[in-house]
Structure 1
Amino acid sequence: MPSLKELRGRITGVKSTRKITNAMKMVAASKLRRAQAQAEEARPYADALKCMMSELSEASRTADPSTLPKLLVGTGKEKIHLLVVLTSDRGLAGGFNANVIRSVRKEVRELLSEGRVVRILPVGKKGADILAREYPDLVVEKVAGTAGRDVGFDKAEYVGQKIISMLEAGEIDCCTLIYNRFVNAMTQVVVQAPLVPWPIAENDNKSEVLSDAPQYEFEPDEETLLAQLLPRNLQVQIFSALLESAAGEQGARMTAMDNASRNASKAIDGLTQKYNRTRQANITNELIEIISGAEAL
């Protein structure tokens, strides 16, 4: 049975941990409000650009594929597949990073089983460390994340330019973005969004999105617009995913720290009860010894 001194030390240690987790929860909650607002503000622009790309892609279906940008139609092959993985730079966020890594493992297994070559571009220290350890030959470059700071568009520009350069050099044929989409503070959904080739929306889905939208005549021609808009669209979609991931990280961390604080409180209650019982037992034993000694006299 632990002594009273040991129990006091445990209680003090758990209380110190609870202070830290409470502070981290409040910091995450403060950052979450800003990150959530940024992610929600970016969604309409990213979605509108997706609709524009879908309409341009639909209008270009009859064109010669060799004249279309590779970002739209790819290389014509599906041999080399690039996975862009967004994770956080910091831990203590529950299953935020683990869920993304689990999805990446599944996708890698499926692609390798189909005889394809896989390349991985991790964005974020946590994911980069795990993937570099598990797939050292597949990681092409480690890209630092935002480390909890505001997400800058320059990060999306760098990743987008990296994808374009690899595509133009023939190093990849397809590209998929894997990240956590923010739903609320307790829920983040892992999303796999194809980037190359750009997916052409089905007619049914497209009609729902664009049912109230006007039809446009493009000038200059669609191919020229695609060459200019596709790189920008790639960067915008990556930037929107980075914002979603940043909001999801703070939400996951806030929830994880709240659960940790609750568990610490339960541990403190259990240790305090054990401490009181041990102290009461020691006092009872001392009284018995005193009474026994008095009766012996």
Structure 2
Amino acid sequence: MAESMNDVKHRIASTKQTRQITTAMEMVSTAKLNQIQKHSVSYEAYVSQVKAVVMHLAQSHLLDQLNSSSNANSKQSNSAKKVAYLVITSDRGMVGSYNSNVIRGTNRFIEKHTPNSNDYMVLAVGKNGAEFYKKRNVNVAYEYSGVSDIPTFSEIKTIVKTISSMFDNHVFDELYVCYSHFVNRMRSDFRAEKMLPMDSKAFENGQSGDVKPAKISAEYDVEPDASSVLNVIIPQYTESLVFGAILDAKTSEHASSSTAMSSASDNANDLISSLQLKYNRARQAAITTEITEIVGGQEALKH
């Protein structure tokens, strides 16, 4: 059944209203993206220094004491090795393929490293990831929602404290952070990085983000002792990794939202043009029909 002119006119009006909403949301997401990028630039300098210090500790063999202690505790627990995946997604929708890309990348990574569902658990930051895995009966051992659009270091400490406590209590033995890494406004890449326990070999091979491996010719002289130094440095390093990943993920989320809303506005423009053309054709046809009827009536009166 063909649409009436009033139906088409109504669709044009409603599509214009939708375009106003998507355009406004695009502007908001772009503003948030610009704001969080400023925070990211200043934070990168800090996290780079923390990574460099930990890399030096690894190459000077101070981390070997920490790893040997962790291995000893794991053996005493006599429990099977458990792997945890910290999955960072958004709390809301309308962010394009952001959430689906993170979940898809995480699932592929899990299938490759821990195909047995009894050997892993999920720690979810963001409602979308938590809901996805709970619906599929995956063990979601921890979930956190409500991360600010521009995350602060203080709110991330709550997440880190809980994760560190779970690790210390042998709830899991390994932790990977899975998130979307911001490349530019049009592109984001999935990342899965090992966070706990610290892998000295990874540091020695330079597998620590953008920090290049340094050559250490001698070991550190530590005061008061290695344990005291590690107790200060390791929590800072863990906090910096989690905060950096969430900050990076939020940047990617705002970029994806801005792009999605821009595409929605473009689609609305295309639909409005199509409906306007349809309306004009229907109006022209109606006018032509009316003129034809008038002329036909005049001809009938002549006879």
TM-score normalized by structure 1?
0.88
Structure 2 vs 1, CA of residues 113 and 130 (structure 1 numbering), >3 Å: closer, same or farther?
closer
Q: Which SS does the other structure have where 2:142 is aligned?
A: coil
Q: Which SS does the other structure have where 2:18 is aligned?
A: helix
Q: Which SS does the other structure have where 1:89 is aligned?
A: coil
Q: Which SS does the other structure have where 2:140 is aligned?
A: coil
Structure 2 vs 1, CA of residues 109 and 211 (structure 1 numbering), >3 Å: closer, same or farther?
closer
**1:29-51 per-position Cα deviation (integer Å, ceiling 9, x unaligned):** 11111101112221222122122
* 1:204 shift after superposition: 5.4
Deviates more, 1:176-185 or 1:14-23: 176-185
Instruction: Give 2:220's match in structure 1, choosing from 197, 217, 221.
Output: 217
Identity rate, percent: 29
| Inter-partner Cα distance in structure 1 for 2:17 and 2:96 | 20
* 1:213 shift after superposition: 9.5
The amino acid across from 1:241 in the alignment is A
Structure 2 vs 1, CA of residues 175 and 115 (structure 1 numbering), >3 Å: closer, same or farther?
same
Q: Structure 2: where are the runs of 5+ without partners?
A: none
CA RMSD of aligned residues (A): 2.7
The amino acid across from 1:260 in the alignment is A
Q: 1:93·1:253 contact (CA, 8 Å) conserved in 2? A: yes
**1:133-185 per-position Cα deviation (integer Å, ceiling 9, x unaligned):** 12x3410122113252x212233212222222111222101000011112222
The amino acid across from 2:212 in the alignment is V
* 1:264 shift after superposition: 0.6
* Map of 1:251 onto structure 2: 255
* 1:108 shift after superposition: 2.9
Q: Which SS does the other structure have where 2:287 is aligned?
A: helix
* Map of 2:126 onto structure 1: 124
**Residues 103-114 of structure 1: pairs in structure 2 closer than 5 A:** 103-113=105-115
Q: 1:111·1:117 contact (CA, 8 Å) conserved in 2? A: no
Q: 2:195·2:238 contact (CA, 8 Å) conserved in 1? A: yes
TM-score normalized by structure 2?
0.87
**Residues 81-230 of structure 1: pairs in structure 2 closer than 5 A:** 81-113=83-115, 117-134=119-136, 136-148=137-149, 150-200=150-200, 201=202, 203=204, 205=206, 209-210=212-213, 217-220=220-223, 221-230=225-234
| Inter-partner Cα distance in structure 2 for 1:67 and 1:213 | 21
Answer yes or no: is 1:25 the counterpart of 2:26.
Answer: yes
| Inter-partner Cα distance in structure 2 for 1:248 and 1:63 | 35
Q: 1:78·1:116 contact (CA, 8 Å) conserved in 2? A: no
Q: Structure 1: where are the runs of 5+ without partners?
A: none
| Inter-partner Cα distance in structure 2 for 1:215 and 1:163 | 34
Structure 2 vs 1, CA of residues 238 and 18 (structure 1 numbering), >3 Å: closer, same or farther?
same
Structure 2 vs 1, CA of residues 282 and 63 (structure 1 numbering), >3 Å: closer, same or farther?
closer
